[in-house]
Every structure is written in C-alpha cells, then in structure tokens.
C-alpha cells in the first residue's frame, strides 16, 4: 500500500512540473515527464538573458546570448519615466522577455525615485498581474 501511495504522489508531482513546461511539438509528446523536465531545464540554461538601460537610445534592452531580443522604449521627465512601447522579436515571444523588461523598468524607477506612467499596453497589462508595483504609477 505504501508503494502505491508513493507512486501516486510521484505521478502528481510530475504532472505539476509538466504543466510548467513550454509547449511541445507533436513529435515530442511521446516523451515521459522526467524527459520533459530535463529538456526544459536544458532550455533554461541555454538562454542567457540580461536586461540593461541603453541611455543613448532611451530604451531598456533584453539581450539573449548577446543579441537584442526585446526593447522597452521610454521617455524621461524631471520626476517620472514614461514607458512608451515594448517590442519583442517574434522568435523570442512567449519566453517572458517582455515581463523581464517591465520588471527591470519598475525596479529602475524605484531605485531612482521616479514615478511611472505606463503608456504601453503591454506594461499596463503586466502591471495588472503585478499590483505590487502600482505604488509607482501616477
């Protein structure tokens, strides 16, 4: 009986972890959950994502393995930052890059004592899912 209970718990854990994995091509669906988990971990370690402020272009840039994969354009005023537009290259969509850009922008504004004006529709929708940053919004 103990072995059966452990088996059920193990299967439930695999299902929960499997729900967090990226969408798979039809040919990959035959893999067992433990193979999917190791594949997802391999994908996560391959992607080297950094976000930085490009002051000359007035935009935050998300770089994947050294290449710009997404940007968040902004305008600075004396006491606030206006987040104008977020764009992510099509081949990098659905990887959380836009969210990383938004989080970086809010963290940067907080550290600089700036208010945030989210004009960008993506940033506004991101903010609805992350209300902990709404204290910075005008």
- What is the pLDDT averaged over residues 20-34? 45
How many Å apart are CA 111 and CA 106, to the nearest integer? 9
Please tell me the pTM assigned to this model: 0.66
Token code pair at residue 112: 């600089």
How many Å apart are CA 9 and CA 12, to the nearest integer? 5
Class of the 48-136 domain? alpha beta
Instruction: Please state, in angstroms and as integers, the Cα–Cα distance from residue 15 to each residue in 12, 21, 42, 84, following that order.
Output: 5, 10, 19, 39
Residue 66 has a pLDDT of: 87
Residue 5 has a pLDDT of: 45
Helices (H) and strands (E) in the chain, counts: 4, 5
Q: How far is CA 37 from the centre of its chain?
A: 19
Residue 73 has a pLDDT of: 98
> Could you give the residue range(s) of every CATH 3.40.630.30 domain in the chain?
48-136
If we measure between CA atoms, which residue out of 57, 83, 80, 61 comes closest to residue 70?
Answer: 61
If we measure between CA atoms, which residue out of 39, 38, 72, 69 comes closest to residue 54?
Answer: 72
For 39-98, how does the pLDDT look when each residue is reduced to its tens digit (9 = 90+)? 444 444 456 889 999 999 999 999 998 899 999 999 999 999 999 999 999 999 988 999
Average pLDDT, rounded, for the chain: 78
**Which alpha helices (H) appear in 28-133, and where do they start and end?**
33-46, 97-112, 121-129
């Amino acid at each position: 009986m103990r072995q059966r209970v452990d088996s059920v718990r193990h299967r439930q854990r695999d299902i929960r972890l499997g729900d967090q994995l990226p969408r798979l091509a039809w040919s990959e669906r035959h893999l067992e959950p433990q193979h999917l988990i190791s594949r997802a971990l391999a994908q996560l370690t391959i992607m080297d994502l950094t976000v930085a402020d490009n002051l000359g272009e007035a935009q935050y840039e998300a770089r994947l393995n050294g290449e710009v994969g997404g940007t968040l354009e902004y305008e600075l005023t004396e006491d606030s930052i206006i987040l104008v537009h977020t764009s992510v290259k099509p081949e990098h969509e659905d990887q959380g890059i836009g969210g990383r850009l938004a989080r970086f922008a809010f963290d940067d504004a907080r550290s600089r004592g700036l208010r945030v004006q989210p004009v960008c529709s993506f940033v506004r929708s991101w903010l609805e899912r992350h209300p902990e940053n709404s204290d910075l919004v005008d």
